[in-house]
A and B are shown apart, each in its own frame.
Chain A
């Protein structure tokens, strides 16, 4: 024991605690910590989950009906759905022509809409159900600004074919919401779920009966 008193290791010292055989006390200690950890998570979850959208916020996401007959050719209207701006554009045949212009396609980053930014029924060259009517979530995929509708050719820069220009960081999209390459926005503008109720009425927030179960939660980027 003289060794111990001088703090020198050697023969005669008592075995260190971690060499001691596992006891009931060790088991109880570990079990106690484990239960405390589970308890901490159980307490933390309600607190953290309270910050998620509340029931009234979710309820405000009910579908919205729009009368397309009041949208003039070449005009864009903006409606709110789930507190997000939804662009609805009545595209004239001339505007539609620019979407298939090889000059336009060669400058796009995802011309064939391969990224899941739209429902299956809008995965086509015009990114809509009917070519004439475009429905988009009007939020830039870069940092959430609202892109400006600039349908006039050459209005943003020489050679501009018409499309969307984001004033915040200069991202550009064509008239189907496809993003040009070389801009900060990574993805095409998302297309929300929508369906035609009649020839001139659409409902935003519902898929067509045979349109699957697309929702904005599944898009790559809003």
Chain B
């Protein structure tokens, strides 16, 4: 027979026959079974596949929710209530989807901070990182559109505040605002298009995730030591080592996720959203979902509208520049004595911003908000380049294998000395 015969490891002649014509089995064998990964990946490397799992869960539940939902201002709220009360397991689908948004962001934020700590964005993985930032932006847009759909008070007023951000643009801001809404205020045309976009964007995310994975496979995964793989002794096949590790991590994650779905389904939401949208009554306080609070705090901390909006967008777009703002040639913070600690300042800063974003801009919250906003940009624009210049990194190990085997060789000795004393 002409052409290359299938290299898939199987005794089944049917699979071989199919694989010669449509190499699906070869693809899976290469991508998920034989695929070599660095042998030292820790549990923080679980969060990429966890994010992929969350995307599948969100799309699956979303398709079934859309079968019950009516995107009209007069029916949207009651169609969601009907889903909760009358549709078989409608409450379950909705709580999986609703809490899924939160857990998707938890996973992705940990994934991002993992990338930041271990320098996963550095050459040659800059585009891999930037595609990740694109996915984050698409996720934020999708989450925002989705939050508008139940047509509660927070849906309506959140949509009003966020779409009004565009009116800060000089001259063309107001026409853009009207064009986005399809009217002079958030209304039925707005709800319809947001539903359409909420259904569309997840599939755009799937596409960008595909590019993200192509870019990942080009140079392989980074690893906790941040040094390049030098040969087969540094690697182990994906299956069974990382399939089992990913599965175990997924199990732990799903237990926590299920606790929220079944016992705390509304803990992460806002009770205001169980009141139907009223265009003539602004709720006492408008707050976005928790995962957008740090960015909201940056918006509110600046007492000028245009600069506030620019700072909000800059706080996310600055991540595109991270590969060049970090001037250190060492990837992993494990070998960076100063950055190792400065990393945690950013974590604290983001948590501080999140807390400020959840409260009215009064008293101490204004002061903390402004300091934290200043620090956020200071960290990326000033601190990071400077540390890269002045920091003296620790010596890097020869190879992943050398570092790992040294550790395991030392371990029994340590246990012995423990037994003696």
Contacts and interface: CB of A to CB of B under 8 A. Distances in A.
A63 to B, nearest CB: 14
A189 interface: no
A186 B179 contact: no
A116 to B, nearest CB: 12
A186 B178 contact: no
Interface string A156-195: 0000000000111110000000000011111000000000
A128 interface: no
Most B CB contacts (10 A, CB to CB) among A48, A61, A142, A168 go to A168
Contact of B183 (A57, A85, A169): A57
B164 A144 contact: yes
B284 interface: yes
B305 A185 contact: yes
Interface string B102-132: 0000000000000000000000000000000
B182 A53 contact: yes
B119 to A, nearest CB: 37
Interface string B294-337: 00000010111110100000000000000000000000000000
Contacts of A169: 300, 361
A141 B173 CA distance: 13
Contacts of B65: none
B304 A186 contact: yes
A84 interface: yes
B157 A145 contact: yes
A54 interface: yes
A104 B180 CA distance: 37
A221 B182 contact: no
Most B CB contacts (10 A, CB to CB) among A51, A185, A217 go to A51
Nearest to B178: A53
A53 B189 contact: yes
A113 B174 CA distance: 20
A143 interface: yes
Interface in A58-89: 61, 78, 80, 82-85
A52 interface: yes
Given A169-B300, A184-B305, A185-B305, A83 B183 contact: yes
A54 B180 CA distance: 12
B361 A170 contact: yes
A168 B189 contact: no
Interface string B269-291: 00000000001111111100000
Nearest to B174: A222
Interface residues of B, number: 36
A129 interface: no
A146 interface: yes
A145 B282 contact: yes
Contacts of A144: 160-161, 163-164, 167
Interface of A is mostly: loop
B227 interface: no
A52 B184 CA distance: 10
Given A168-B161, A222-B167, A53 B282 contact: no
Given A53-B183, A54-B189, A146 B280 contact: yes
Most A CB contacts (10 A, CB to CB) among B157, B184, B279, B300 go to B184
A143 B300 CA distance: 11
B360 A145 contact: no
A57 B161 CA distance: 21
B185 A83 contact: yes
A23 to B, nearest CB: 38
B187 interface: yes
A65 B302 CA distance: 40
A51 B304 contact: no
Most A CB contacts (10 A, CB to CB) among B160, B304, B308 go to B160
Most A CB contacts (10 A, CB to CB) among B282, B300, B360 go to B282
B362 interface: yes
B138 interface: no
Nearest to A218: B174
A51 B196 CA distance: 12
B165 interface: yes
B212 interface: no
B303 A183 contact: yes
Contacts of A82: 184-185
Contacts of A217: 174
Contacts of B183: 53, 57, 83
A170 B362 contact: yes
Interface string A40-58: 0000000010011110010
Contacts of B180: 51
23 contacts: A51-B180, A53-B184, A78-B280, A82-B185, A83-B184, A83-B185, A84-B184, A85-B280, A141-B305, A142-B164, A142-B305, A143-B165, A144-B161, A145-B161, A145-B282, A146-B280, A146-B282, A167-B284, A170-B361, A184-B302, A186-B305, A186-B306, A222-B167
- List 6 tightest A-B contacts by C-beta distance, closest first: A144-B164, A143-B164, A143-B161, A146-B282, A83-B185, A144-B160
Interface of B: 157, 160-161, 163-165, 167, 174, 178-180, 182-185, 187, 189, 193, 279-286, 300, 302-306, 308, 360-362
Interface of A: 48, 51-54, 57, 61, 78, 80, 82-85, 141-146, 148, 166-170, 182-186, 217, 221-222
